[in-house]
Chains A and B, each alone.
Chain A
Amino acid sequence: MNETATIATPPQTAEGPRPKITARNVNVHYGEKHALKDVSVDVPEKGVMAFIGPSGCGKSTFLRCINRMNDTISICRVSGDLRIDGRDIYEAGLDPVLLRARVGMVFQKPNPFPKSIYENVAYGPRLHGLGNTKAELDEIVEGALRKASLFEEVKDRLKDSGTSLSGGQQQRLCIARAIAVRPEVILMDEPCSALDPIATAKIEELIDELRSNFTIVIVTHSMQQAARVSQRTAFFHLGKLIEDGVTDQIFMNPRHELTRNYITGRFG
């Protein structure tokens, strides 16, 4: 991504904390398909930013740019400038595996490894050499499970398979797994879409707690969820970022008509 000699000026400077992630003119193609068009946005540090927009508008595509998951899709081409803490994450020599330790991801469908609950959480830290002794690893696992509000429910069955948990518990396990490697950024792609209201509420509560330490980007199809959990919201439409701003403003008084039509349910 070093082709871009000059960085476009931000569309608007984000008020509040400094940006953790800055994207300038990010374009993504899947073969001939132009999936993201000149997306420029700032994601502020230590807060929650929600990405909303109709199905197929490119939300997941953009999330996958942030931890270079798109690298694993052969037909996918990414161009533009994407930085975390000012550093180009597509620069030559940057190890995507290390990047993904800094930028964790939680998917729409809980996807625990077919291993024990303990191993699900311990796997990442061990891979990245975070826990050298068994005691250290135990501590990391317990801490991550506690942060994900799951520890009390599973402390007596840590050896059971992760897949034996309920859907909501599995999702919290995946969040524990994501935070165990102490990432700086957590990307969540519709993390609650398979969950009941109680499990959803627990995840939202968790997001609210995590935001003091992490930068969180969440994709959600629930306007109410976006309004509840995020401080900033960006609206995507047909691969373009239409509008981003303070969440309350986006939901009370969006500037762009496309945004308004979408959030008020007036879309074709």
Chain B
Amino acid sequence: MNNHTVKAFDEELGVLSSKINEMGGIAEAMLVESIEALVKGDKARAEEVIRQDKALDALQQEIEDLAVVFIAKRQPMANDLRHVMGTVRIAGDIERIGDLFKNIGKRVRAMDAAMVGTRTLSGIQNMARMVQGQLKLVLDSFSQNRPDLAREVWLHDGEIDALHNSLFRELLTYMMEDPRAITYCAHLLFIAKNVERVGDHATNIAETVHLIETGEPLAGPRPKADDTHYTKGLKAE
């Protein structure tokens, strides 16, 4: 796309984008760290994740402030306006993602490390890997202005939901088999839910990126998550 006649316009838009990229990098690191902390029962790492959330909060605030000034000063139109508004929305989603990882960190801090059972965690690790892939892809779709990548993220969200549902069922089984594992497994349930919700935010971001780039909402058929994994009468909500 052509540059603006006013150079500062492009520079200021660039600053907003680079701050999103920065937030995205922190969120990706928090994902890796929080899951590592969980798997290894590493409380120091969990503390580190909790600490990192502050940086995201600060960046989100910065982006909002910059966007307000930008709109007041430059009165952007069309794709520029969508870009600024989209940036604010994406910053909000990443900030929420940070909260979810922080929550995982807090749970790891509180969990009984002696309970760590490898089999259960591999399910969460799988899900985390999938979400990590989604997060990376959606951040790339933003930084590379690629609505096609955003659509890909949007199309694959159902897979995370399906995995979450089966994990939910698995954890319930453990809890029924061994009531002493209930506290630990409840933490894992919430952690799995958190990871799944990060996937939802990645999808939100994908929708925003698509809107920024094309002006059209993401639409069309989307493979629906398989509901049959829900335990009878219970929903993993």
Whether the pair A266, B4 counts as a contact (CB closer than 8 A) is yes
Q: Which of B55-88 contact A (CB under 8 A)?
A: 75-82
| A264 CB to nearest chain B CB (Å) | 5
CB–CB B75/A264 < 8 A: no
Q: Is A261 an interface residue (CB 8 A)?
A: yes
CB distance from B8 to the nearest CB of A (A): 11
- Is there contact, CB below 8 Å, between B75 and A223? yes
Chain B residue with the shortest CB-CB distance to A249: B215
Q: Are B9 and A251 in contact (CB under 8 A)?
A: no
Given contacts A252-B82, A252-B215, A253-B215, contact A264 B77 (CB under 8 A): yes
Contact B9 A265 (CB under 8 A): yes
Q: How far is the CA of A261 from the CA of B6 in the complex (A)?
A: 13
For residue A147, CB closer than 8 A to chain B, the reply is no
Tell me the minimal C-beta distance from A53 to chain B in angstroms: 14
Contact A261 B2 (CB under 8 A): yes
- Please state if A253 and B78 are interface contacts (CB–CB under 8 Å): yes
Complex interface: chain B residues within 8 A of A265 (CB): 4-6, 9, 77
> B114 interface residue, CB < 8 Å from A?
no
Residues 73 to 117 of chain B near chain A (Cβ within 8 Å): 75-82
| Cross-chain contact A267 with B215 (CB below 8 angstroms) | no
Q: Contact flags (1/0) for B212-237 with A, using CB distance below 8 Å?
A: 00011000000000000000000000
> Does chain B have a CB within 8 A of A162?
no
In the assembled complex, the Cα of A261 lies from the Cα of B75 at a distance in Å of 14
Chain B: minimal CB distance from A204 (Å): 15
What residues of chain A lie closer than 8 Å to B77, measured between beta carbons? 223, 227, 251, 263-265
A260 / chain B contacts, CB cutoff of 8 Å: 78-79
A264 touches B215 (CB 8 A): no
| Complex CA distance for A224 and B80, rounded to whole angstroms | 14
Interface check B1, CB cutoff 8 A: yes
Minimum CB distance partner of A261 in chain B:
B2
A261 to B1, CA, bound (A): 9
Contact B75 A224 (CB under 8 A): yes
Q: B residues within 8 A CB of A251?
A: 77-78, 81
Q: How far is the CB of A248 from chain B (nearest CB, A)?
A: 11
A253 CA / B79 CA spacing, docked (Å):
7
Closest chain A residue to B6, Cβ basis: A265
Residue B5 contacts which of A227, A254, A267 (CB distance < 8 angstroms)? A267
- For residue A268, which residues in chain B have a CB less than 8 angstroms away from its CB? 5
Q: Is the CB of B82 within 8 A of A264?
A: no
CA A251 – CA B77 in complex, angstroms? 6
Contact indicator B81/A252 (Cβ below 8 Å): yes
- 0/1 string, A230-268, CB within 8 A of B gives 1: 000000000000000000000111100000110111111
B3 CB–A CB distance under 8 Å: yes
* Residue from A224, A260, A268 with most neighbouring chain B CB atoms (10 Å): A260
CB distance A264 to B79 under 8 Å? yes
CB pair A254 B78 closer than 8 Å: yes
The 8 A-B pairs of least Cβ separation, nearest first, read A253-B215, A266-B2, A263-B77, A264-B80, A265-B4, A264-B77, A264-B78, A251-B77
In the complex, given contacts A227-B77, A251-B78, A252-B81, what are 6 additional A-B residue pairs having Cβ atoms less than 8 angstroms apart? A251-B77, A264-B79, A265-B4, A266-B2, A266-B3, A266-B4
Q: List A residues at the B interface (Cβ < 8 Å).
A: 223-224, 227, 251-254, 260-261, 263-268
